[in-house]
Amino acid sequence: MASNAVEMAAVPVAQALSQSELDRARLYLEQTKVLIGGALRNLSQAQWNYKPSPDRWSIAEIVEHVIFVQEQVLGPIREKLESAPVTPVRPDCKQVDDVIIYQIPSRLAKFPSPAQPSGGLGLAEALDRLPANYGRLAERLEKTPGLRERSIESRPLRAISNGAYDMMDGYQWILAVAAHTERHTKQVVELMADPGFPV
């Protein structure tokens, strides 16, 4: 009996997110879901596919990229996090949260993306997949224990922080998906302001 108690005590107990962390992520997910949904509302096919120049993305390509990144975080990145070792929650985690929320959405610094869209995504499919992905992200936030306790390397964080930070925990990857969506929603709005954008 005593040995079982010792064994149970040796198993790390997942640290729950605080109420303020949960509230912040819930609100940010909801805000960015509404933002991108609003930006895509009532688009025509011509607007969806409009490219101001060959080297710029259409709205279709921007949204395909957003969905690709969401599904990477929900799939392969989630799997990497789940197999990463449990480590103590980093003391700088709140600073990293702020970098993600306040710096990733900024369009002042541009970075080449390794995830290039193929151009094959239709508007109807996008309007189905975006809210479905948001639902899965919200479920991950609510139901995954110990999101702060496993971290993996993040090249986007390293780039946006000029090398100051390079690891993101499971909670931060959820924030980063929302921040990335906000960033590219701004890109959609920029494209809509192009003089040649179809009316």
Q: Would you say residue 139 has pLDDT above 60?
A: yes
What confidence score (pLDDT) does residue 3 get?
Answer: 45
- pTM of the prediction? 0.90
- Among the residue ranges 3-17, 25-39, 71-85, the one predicted with the least confidence is 3-17
**Dihedral (CA of 72, 76, 82, 85) sign:** negative
Q: Would you say residue 189 has pLDDT above 50?
A: yes
Give, as one character, the DSSP assignment of residue 149: G
Architecture of domain 19-192: Up-down Bundle (1.20)
Q: Would you say residue 65 has pLDDT above 80?
A: yes
Domain extents in the chain: 19-192
Give, as one character, the DSSP assignment of residue 115: -
Q: How far is CA 192 from CA 49, 146, 180, 189, 196, in A?
A: 11, 41, 19, 5, 9
What confidence score (pLDDT) does residue 2 get?
Answer: 46
Q: Would you say residue 71 has pLDDT above 60?
A: yes
Q: What is the mean pLDDT of residues 167-191?
A: 97
Q: What is the mean pLDDT of residues 64-71?
A: 97
Q: How many helices (H) and strands (E) does the chain have?
A: 9, 2
Q: Which pair of structure tokens corresponds to residue 100? A: 């993600």
> Model confidence over 89-120: pLDDT tens digits?
889 999 999 999 999 999 998 887 877 888 88
